Amino acid sequence: MTLMDKVKRYLHTPQGRENIEKAKRMARDPKTQQKARGLFERLRSRSHHR
């Protein structure tokens, strides 16, 4: 069984579905979006400095 198979199986469990919903709620939160943008900017700026 590959890692992707395990992930797919987990996502169909009640706990997996709850985590998907939690991630969706967090993704809609403006604070979370701002944190994610900041993280991506830092990662992007590091890769340009190499």
Each residue's pLDDT tens digit, 18-30: 999 999 999 999 9
Predicted TM-score of the model (pTM): 0.58
- Is the per-residue pLDDT at 49 higher than 70? no
Residue spans of the domains in the chain: they are 3-48
* The pLDDT of residue 9: 97
Work out the pLDDT band at 46, boundaries 50, 70, 90. Answer: confident
Q: What is the mean pLDDT of residues 35-43?
A: 93
- Rounded Cα distance between 24 and 33, Å, is 11
28 φ/ψ angles, rounded to the nearest 5 degrees? -80, -15
